[in-house]
Structure 1
């Protein structure tokens, strides 16, 4: 398992994540941001890696953080943290609660919880709109400082829009080498259509020395 901000904390990429953390914390304008949706316009733009490193850099401040893999169509977090995916969010949504549903990760003095997606269900969008999902998020709000939700790409499914409606903020990860302008515009439009609190863009895979992640405010 490799997490940039933990295993290479002095890198330019790690510093960019710390900047992202600061921008999130100083952009709430009096509103307490706890639930953050991370999505992208297209597949393979790096949203899952961004989600994991953002969760870890928040946890480095001593915050209690849970990362939820709500991409139940093409889940990735269990691969990144090298855990099995036999239980997780889909099982919880089906009422099949398990004590080992949440993975508790510890790196020296940094603690981070990860709820993987669980087995891929046939109807993920319907499950995300259920009252059970509301209960899960409500429980997380009561027990965590930050809830980071890794969601499917906006142009591939409605899942990110569904969760953006109940989130405090939404970040859009963009692979600057492959994402087209019209795709970015359409992704933003879909967030606006559901009244999402669009926080900004995370520009990914820029050639800035060894830096692979860079953040700037899109507003």
Structure 2
């Protein structure tokens, strides 16, 4: 019977059609240069819907972890959480609980089958109105995570359509965009980049999804 880690790797290989490993490596080079001196938080978001944000963030997080970086992958897509299924973890406590409840985040972080890679799921989101996110709490949770990891990588929904993503970006050092080849409109890409830059954050690059 195949191990869980083998199943994860197999899924990534089967989805090579969506995002090439070469694109992941190019983004990885930029991220490595940025986090060389101090822990950083980055957000992976999309230009429009129907993108494989979770898959792409998992591939990037695994690539960084394989280089020896201590990586925390955070599922901040409260409306459509998927990373807990991808890594076969329970989703009882996670990001939403850490931000909205008075409890430490360290006990909610789970190790994965990939060395150096940990996961913070969305947690139970049903009882928490998404508009209740408190900026001070977000900052506190991010700072706590930076004490234990070199890179915190947030997976978030479509940037222009998500108030939570636009709030979370304030506590990240940079953004990685996902766009669909021949499907994402140039105007929407430009508007997304401009919105991110208005927040004072840098767009590290754009990953093109072909599927």
TM-score range, shorter chain: 0.7 to 0.9
Change over 3 Å in CA distance of 1:181–1:16 after alignment to 2: closer
Aligned match of 1:142 in 144, 147, 150? 147
Aligned match of 1:67 in 47, 70, 73? 73
Q: CA deviation at 1:20?
A: 2.2
Q: Deviations over 1:179-208 (max 9, x none)?
A: 1222212211221222222211111126xx
Q: CA deviation at 1:111?
A: 2.9
Task: Check whether the contact 1:5–1:56 (CA below 8 A) recurs between aligned residues.
Answer: no
Change over 3 Å in CA distance of 1:179–1:53 after alignment to 2: same
Scaled by the length of structure 2, the TM-score of the pair is 0.82
Matches for 1:154-165 after TM superposition, within 5 Å: 154-165=159-170
Does 1:198 find its partner at 2:200? no
Q: How many matched pairs?
A: 200
User: Can you give the 5+ residue segments of structure 1 that lack an aligned partner in the other structure?
Assistant: 207-219
Task: Check whether the contact 2:23–2:207 (CA below 8 A) recurs between aligned residues.
Answer: no
Task: Check whether the contact 1:4–1:53 (CA below 8 A) recurs between aligned residues.
Answer: no
Change over 3 Å in CA distance of 1:31–1:112 after alignment to 2: closer
Q: CA deviation at 1:24?
A: 2.2
| Greater mean deviation of Cα atoms: 49-58 or 184-193 | 184-193
Residue aligning to 1:217 = none
Residue aligning to 2:178 = 173
Scaled by the length of structure 1, the TM-score of the pair is 0.79
Residue aligning to 2:54 = 48
| Greater mean deviation of Cα atoms: 143-152 or 11-20 | 11-20
Separation of aligned partners in 2, 1:169 and 1:49:
19
Separation of aligned partners in 1, 2:57 and 2:35:
23
Q: CA deviation at 1:60?
A: 0.3
Aligned match of 1:116 in 113, 118, 121? 121
More strand by share: 1
More helix by share: 2
Residue aligning to 1:95 = 102
Q: CA deviation at 1:33?
A: 6.3
Residue aligning to 1:106 = 113
Task: Check whether the contact 2:175–2:204 (CA below 8 A) recurs between aligned residues.
Answer: yes
